[in-house]
Chain A
Amino acid sequence: MHVHTIAGLLSGMAAGQFSSAEITSDYLQRIASQDQQLNSFITVTEELALTQARAADERRARGEGLKLDGIPLAHKDIFCTQGTKTSCGSRMLDNFIPPYDATVIKALNAAGSVCLGKTNMDEFAMGSSNENSYFGPVRNPWDTDCVPGGSSGGSAAAVAAGLAVAATGTDTGGSIRQPAAFCGLTGLKPTYGRVSRLGMVAFASSLDQGGPLTRTAEDAALLLEVIAGVDPADSTSADRPVPRYSEALAQSLAGLRIGLPQEFFGSGLDAGIGSVINAALKEFEALGAQLVEINLPHANLAIPAYYVIAPAEASTNLSRFDGVRYGYRCEDPTDLEDLYTRSREEGFGDEVKRRILVGTYALSAGYYDAYYRKAQQVRRLIQSDYLNAFKEVDVIMGPTTPNPAWAIGSKESDPVSVYLEDIYTLGVNLAGLPAISVPAGLSDRKPVGLQIIGQHFDESRLLSTAHQFQLATDWHTLTPPGFGGKS
């Protein structure tokens, strides 16, 4: 079987070339034989997957096939799955079996997809390397000494290695786009509010957004049109119609105005990545697009603003983990205070504790104006830069990351140096915009991601722009040596 995309699997099953049970078994076997090299899964749901696959095959045989019937997906272990452990990469939730499905999971199940398992991630989605997981680091299939990116590192590694056809992820500051870039995948962070956050363990509620990690923009469109939409149980979900993204992919690039922020092509950018991105931009020009230099004057303030707002919201969200209602509880608490404090001390890892402390500090009496209020003002300036730029251009492009995937452990002694790697992705979350990372080539045998940023709710334009690029190039078809050939 050499089929690697959702679209390809759907047409193969429709033509009777193979069944969902067959491809699901194939993926489960690949997970069993290859994932010890990667550690991309926390839980493999073999029995559930085969049951769902057989049900999908029966529906298809009856002529009642659903939109994603029989498509085997992996889900980031941040999405609540009824009856299946949802750890969020943390000891705190190592024993947590959710009594309900996240809205994203419910929608994907209702569309007939198959759940292969739950993927590894940075604890509570706090990280850009997947080294902060209670379940150990994930390895990048392109170079197993390197990180896959994060926080959706397990999802990215699994799809890149052919252990799932696509996966869900979440993106608070780049956590879909950056691992997609490091692993050679297409990763879409939708507009804030486009996808329900219900049942997605909350990190920073004004920034978090779920989305797909796929091989192609076409597959991302197929998944987004299933998971997008208003949810009465998430009051921040956007009450707007969901376009048929997969039917809008043909839009031509002719006349497309592409903004190139000069701040994204400065001295901090790795030369190898810079030349891959410039070659991709030339390709867009050849396809009829027009390149326009723009400025985002406050772009460099995204890191400081993000590292106040995200920890502040996280410190509030994570106060729910108290050892009382669910999750980890310490042994033999002496009193209530000891129960709270020791459960949290033992249940949370170092990076999560650091962010809770920073957030609590920023929100504490006397510091609120200097930190939290200030960061929210800067956030508006950052968003205004983008909105001004979109008066002149249709989309904005640049590198997804300043550097390629780094060696596991090489930044351990300096967590702040990891924060700086998110310079091109954080502003998008602060501004609530949609953005997609697409494979644009290799630099030193590692994948490079091109980031395309769109206007609020303009995912159709992002997906068609990415799709047209993928029709003209084959970077998205590259597979990591050693994991490429499906059986």
Chain B
Amino acid sequence: MTVTTQDIENVATLARLRIAPTEIAEVTDRISSVLQLVDQMQAVDTGDTEPMANPLGEVQRLRADQVTESDQREAFQAIAPAAQDGLYLVPRVID
């Protein structure tokens, strides 16, 4: 599968990454070489093999719907880049 610089720019937008215009060619090149490597698996007939998401075949374990944690908001917000009055601050979203 070949990828274009346009493909990589689209994926970067989805991933909220920016790639400098001076680097886009090299990044595209390197991503292409990774995709070439992984394309080896296309040669294998996997038929209707069931995809494996968990190596032990486990499914999500659920706990009882009860409060188990105490409020730690202050401790968590103490390490935030910007927080005030219990809220995380970001640039204005709505004018």
Contacts and interface: CB of A to CB of B under 8 A. Distances in A.
Given A325-B88, A432-B56, A353 B63 contact: no
Nearest to B33: A416
Interface in A302-330: 303-305, 307-308, 315, 319, 322-327, 329
A375 B38 contact: yes
Contacts of B82: 329
Contact of B17 (A301, A307, A325, A356): A356
B80 A305 contact: no
A456 B17 CA distance: 38
Interface in B4-20: 7-8, 11-12, 14-19
Interface string A16-33: 000000000000000000
B31 A357 contact: yes
A18 B39 CA distance: 58
Contacts of B7: 361
B65 to A, nearest CB: 14
Interface residues of B, number: 52
Q: Which of A239, A315, A340, A361 has the largest count of B CB atoms less than 10 A from its CB?
A: A361
Contact of B44 (A301, A303, A416): A301
A415 interface: yes
A380 B51 contact: yes
B40 A357 contact: no
A378 B46 contact: yes
B71 interface: no
A370 B61 CA distance: 29
Given A193-B56, A236-B54, A338-B91, A381 B49 contact: yes
Interface in A81-119: 96-97, 99
A232 interface: yes
B37 A303 contact: yes
Nearest to B69: A233
Interface residues of A, number: 71
A381 B55 CA distance: 12
A77 to B, nearest CB: 16
Counting chain A CB atoms within 10 Å of each CB, which of B15, B30, B39, B78 scores highest?
B15
Contacts of B14: 360, 364
A66 interface: no
B67 interface: no
Contacts of A232: 63
A304 B42 CA distance: 10
A347 B17 CA distance: 10
B52 A361 contact: no
Nearest to A307: B38
Contacts of B31: 354, 357-358, 361
Given A192-B56, A342-B18, A357 B46 contact: no
Contacts of A333: 90-91
Interface string A234-246: 0110110000000
Interface string B43-74: 01010011111111010111100000000100
Interface string A369-391: 01101111111110100000000
Contacts of B34: 307, 354, 358, 415-416, 419
Interface in A396-436: 415-416, 419, 430-433
A122 B17 CA distance: 20
B15 A378 contact: no
A183 B56 CA distance: 31
Given A236-B58, A373-B51, A374-B46, A341 B30 contact: no
Closest 9 CB pairs of A and B: A432-B55, A376-B51, A329-B81, A377-B46, A380-B52, A304-B41, A304-B38, A377-B49, A360-B15
8 contacts: A99-B79, A193-B56, A324-B80, A324-B90, A376-B51, A378-B46, A431-B55, A432-B56
Interface of B: 1, 3, 7-8, 11-12, 14-19, 27, 30-31, 33-35, 37-42, 44, 46, 49-56, 58, 60-63, 72, 75-76, 78-82, 88, 90-93
Given A97-B79, A329-B81, 14 more contacts: A192-B54, A206-B53, A235-B60, A235-B61, A329-B82, A334-B91, A341-B17, A344-B17, A374-B41, A377-B52, A378-B44, A379-B51, A416-B30, A433-B55
Interface of A: 96-97, 99, 191-193, 206, 232, 235-236, 238-239, 298, 300-301, 303-305, 307-308, 315, 319, 322-327, 329, 333-342, 344-345, 348, 353-354, 356-358, 360-362, 364, 370-371, 373-381, 383, 415-416, 419, 430-433, 456
